[in-house]
Structure 1
Amino acid sequence: MTLPSQTPGAFRHPARSAFPALTLLCAALLSGCGKSEEGKGQRPPPKVGFVVASPSEVPQPVTLGGRTVAFETSEVRPQVAGVIQRRLFTEGSYVQAGQPLFQVDPSLYRASVNQAQANLASARATADAAIAKARRYKPLADMEAVAAQDYTDAAAQARVARASIAQNAAALETARVNLRFTTVPAPISGRIGRALVTVGGLASMGQTTPLAIIQRTDPMFVDMQQSAADLTTLRRKLRTGGVDAGSTQVTLKFEDGSDYPLPGTVQFSEVTVNQDTGTVTLRARFPNPSGILLPGTFVNAMFNQAIETNAFLVPQQAVQRDFDGSAFVMLVGKDNKAARRKVVTARTYGASWVVTSGLARGDKVIVQGLNGLKQGAPIVPVPANTPQDPTKAPPGGGGAGGRGKGQGAAPKQGS
């Protein structure tokens, strides 16, 4: 007896009946995954900011150590010998040229003046007699009343007497000058130091110690030392071109880091090299109305010694270093691809590197978005510091509170 459920064609195996449903489910899952991968796509090129290279005139500053030097220095020395009777100035005060400073005992020199005056009076009296005698002899000699030789002798005595007057007048003038020198004046105007010889000391013309020292401190000199090699290199560049002479204006900085408020100017440089240090002295002149600068003070002088006429200023963040220490920058190349180029950086100026070789006018130097940037990588160049539009989502990613284009919701299980 055959059961109805066992009739041919009536029985279906469970696995065979589930296979078509499983196949449809897998196809749906694969279809959803394919759409998800297609939505992701590839990462778009990064956006980079660039600046356009342009040559400019870049000052070449230099800082040199130096010492302040008085504009004028004079040692007060006696011009006659004698005992110092009085000091006529206040130590450390400002004195004017010609102002009396010391008084030397004038007794001997006053006596010399009196003696010279007496000698001059005697010479004049003798001359008057000789001249009168010569005048009397002249007509007598013409009449041959006296011998011609007698007249010649009288005329000669008259001339000798005149010369004696001139000699004694010169001696009197010398005595008066020496008497005037007993009052020692200030040779220049300036600040006088302490008295190096006291009252009661003996002054002489040949003494090694001055009576005092006067220094004029307004204006003031600053003597700077620069390497002869650096100065030679600068002069060679000035001759061959590439750099121009810089400004002669100088600023000063003290040892404590403070700045001197008034600028100065470079006056000249020495023509000889110091054999011991290999340096050349440059001298600058500074106004010093308030007396802030004192002779002998160590200072740092800063000025633009030259100007590079064909240099490029590149922001420091754009210059990178290779393994060997050489510098390079990334440029916007053809077809908007990153290009690497080696450059020569001489020094820094402010927040930029001074590039002297490797760049040309119009090169687009990448200064933003350099992280991970490689040679030949596609980029989206924009001028540096271009403001971003907050209403647009960044490339390849979703904006705030939403998803980017091509990136949908995650597929549900079993869809």
Structure 2
Amino acid sequence: MISGLLAATGLHSQVYAQGAGQAAPKAQVGVVELHPQSVAVTAKLSGRTVASLDAEVRPQVGGIIEERLFKEGSEVKAGEILYRIDDDAYQATYDSAVAALTRAEAALPSAQTKLERYEELISQNAVAKQDLDDARATLAQAKADVASAKANVQTAKINLDRTKIRAPIAGRIESSSLSVGALVTASQTTALTTIRQLDPINVDLTQSSTNLLNLRKAVREGRVKLTGDNVQVRLDLETGEEYPLTGHLEFSEAYVDPTTGTYTLRAEFPNPDRLLLPGMYVQAAVEEGIAQNSYLVPQRAVTRNARGEPIAFFLGQDGKVDERILEVNGNVGNNWLVSEGISDGERLIVEGTLFVKAGQEATGTLVTINETTGEVESRGDAVTNQGEKTN
């Protein structure tokens, strides 16, 4: 049973013979050499997609809907006419205001001429000063009438234009809640339809305040260097496939929800094919910074001791196995990110860990780990106890 278990590992590992005076050959293990590198620190966050702009369309004047000019579910442009309201009454009001303005403007030249004539005659004492004051008042009143009439024309024009209900933003328009012939009122509570801008689209993500504090601590201690203002974000869809376009972080809220202990971050993604729709659940990888002089330790090589601490086995230069507790700072793909406790060139045991223990002598063979699957991909040269490769 033991030999079958050993064979399943793919190595020629041996156990010590139980007979007196007999010792089995050194155990053979697969190792990888670890070297420090700069690693992008990413946070895996969950969230939902949200339209970048969302506008409910409501009438600003009352009347009967005479025409609907859009196709439900289509893309509309900002300013495009969506509905027409019967405008006969508003047209009449506008025409009346224009006529009143014309009448007010017609009275202005006469008042101006009368004042000028009285100003000439007053020096000759040909008119009373009261008549001059009345002429000035008449001119001022005529000018005020013109200004008031212009304001009435402008108001009537605004209301007339509002009988054409236009799209406030560009985007995809939803179904219409009312049909042609329905009566609408100004600023009614029921929206006629809704327009959502889907390109670009936003993704609202939640992050724990604990992770934020840990990141800031790592930055203060120099273990992580922030990537700057242009933080890149990658997205995984509900199907597990990766969204092909990269987004960027827009902002993070300066408020932590006291109930959940989380705060919200918003990322923006291009969405030219409308693959992302509002309300979708997504997983996002947010690049928080760069961990310098760090090591990527394959997860397959790490187990936990009785206290729950992550441990790994290393093959020392003397050929003996060393058990070590790791300080893990997160995961990157199929690797754990470790910034302390490992030296450049050390050999980590990634295969055969079940058959070795601390202080035992072993012979190592260099192996290659597939970064996608985390499994051993190939085996190469054996290494001597001094760390030199042998063919």
Partner of 1:234: 215
Partner of 1:254: 237
Partner of 2:387: none
Summarize the alignment of residues 139-288 of structure 1 with structure 2, pairs less than 5 Å apart. Answer: 139-246=120-227, 248-288=231-271
Q: Measure the CA separation in 1 of the matches of 2:258 and 2:233.
A: 26
Q: Measure the CA separation in 1 of the matches of 2:291 and 2:190.
A: 52
Partner of 1:331: 315
Deviates more, 1:358-367 or 1:79-88: 358-367
Does residue 305 of structure 1 match 2:254?
Answer: no
**SS, match of residue 357 in structure 1:** coil
Partner of 2:16: none
2:315/2:364 contact within 8 Å kept: no
Partner of 2:10: none
Q: Determine which structure has the larger strand proportion and give its number.
A: 2
What amino acid sits opposite 1:264 in the alignment? G
**SS, match of residue 225 in structure 2:** strand
CA offset digits 1:295-316 (Å, max 9, x no partner): 1122222233333223222344
1:74/1:187 contact within 8 Å kept: yes
What amino acid sits opposite 1:303 in the alignment? V
Partner of 2:67: 86
2:314/2:346 contact within 8 Å kept: no
Summarize the alignment of residues 4-153 of structure 1 with structure 2, pairs less than 5 Å apart. Answer: 50-153=31-134
**SS, match of residue 168 in structure 1:** helix
1:318/1:330 contact within 8 Å kept: no
Q: Determine which structure has the larger helix proportion and give its number.
A: 1
Q: Measure the CA separation in 2 of the matches of 1:94 and 1:310.
A: 50
1:222/1:283 contact within 8 Å kept: yes
Deviates more, 1:47-56 or 1:98-107: 47-56
Displacement after TM superposition at 1:387 (Å): 3.6
Displacement after TM superposition at 1:124 (Å): 2.0
Deviates more, 1:348-357 or 1:75-84: 348-357
Partner of 2:18: none
**SS, match of residue 254 in structure 2:** coil
2:319/2:361 contact within 8 Å kept: yes
2:69/2:82 contact within 8 Å kept: yes
Q: Measure the CA separation in 1 of the matches of 2:258 and 2:22.
A: 74
Partner of 1:408: none
Displacement after TM superposition at 1:175 (Å): 0.9
CA offset digits 1:304-361 (Å, max 9, x no partner): 333322322234455454444431423314x554444433344443444433332233
Q: Measure the CA separation in 1 of the matches of 2:365 and 2:95.
A: 100
Q: Measure the CA separation in 1 of the matches of 2:71 and 2:357.
A: 77
Partner of 1:13: none
Partner of 1:395: none
- Change over 3 Å in CA distance of 1:157–1:313 after alignment to 2: same
Partner of 2:4: none
Displacement after TM superposition at 1:222 (Å): 0.9
**SS, match of residue 260 in structure 1:** coil
Q: Measure the CA separation in 2 of the matches of 1:56 and 1:277.
A: 35
Q: Measure the CA separation in 1 of the matches of 2:131 and 2:330.
A: 97
Rg (Cα) greater in structure: 1
Deviates more, 1:125-134 or 1:315-324: 315-324
1:71/1:216 contact within 8 Å kept: yes
What amino acid sits opposite 1:120 in the alignment? L
Count of residues in correspondence between the two structures: 349
**RMSD (CA atoms):** 2.9
